[in-house]
Homo-oligomer: A and B are copies of this chain.
């Protein structure tokens, strides 16, 4: 009965999709959020504007998708935090790595663009939390849980609050450029969190 009449254009689709996202990423990394426009993305990707509008409803959504796509090859193991049994050492490693990421100019501009896109758009903000932040948070939370069970943290430690205590200062310093982002700073954040939530 139902014979499939629709050809599958997935290959072209996929090619143009990638071109668009890559062009967007490149433009954001080069020029920052304000320097980009749908026309610039289309032109750079060698694509018609309609091909962009067919998939995404706004510039913010494209920028957002472009950054999200960065993480789409990740699988669960990639984002699992190290667990050597020594929480302090593991957290220092991870926060130092985070500090380094934020220090990279290309990553800086990408994240600022995401931040701008998300800041005034509740829908994108929700997707950001669900699709971008949550997987990372789950991984971090898992490490803290393991530590709590190992007695490295107080039994009634609020792990979500502890995560915020660890990461929010870092995020704020980066966003407002209100202080240096260094390995020492990362270590200090770990120490602070452990003092507050340790046994």
| Chain A residues at the B interface, C-beta cutoff of 8 Å | 32-34, 112, 115-116, 118-120, 122, 125-126, 128-129, 133, 158, 160-161, 164-165, 167-169, 171-173, 175-179, 188-189, 192-193, 195-197
Partner pick for A34 among B33, B118, B120, B161, CB 8 A cutoff: B120
Q: Which DSSP category, helix, strand, loop or mixed, fits chain A's interface?
A: helix
Give every chain B residue within 8 A of A115 (Cβ-Cβ).
119, 175
* A176 and B112 within 8 A (CB): no
**Of the residues B116, B126, B192, contact of A165 by C-beta under 8 Å:** B192
Q: Are B133 and A176 in contact (CB under 8 A)?
A: yes
**A177, B125: Cβ atoms closer than 8 Å:** yes
Q: How far is the CA of A116 from the CA of B121 in the complex (A)?
A: 12
Partner of A119, one of B116, B158, B161, B168: B116
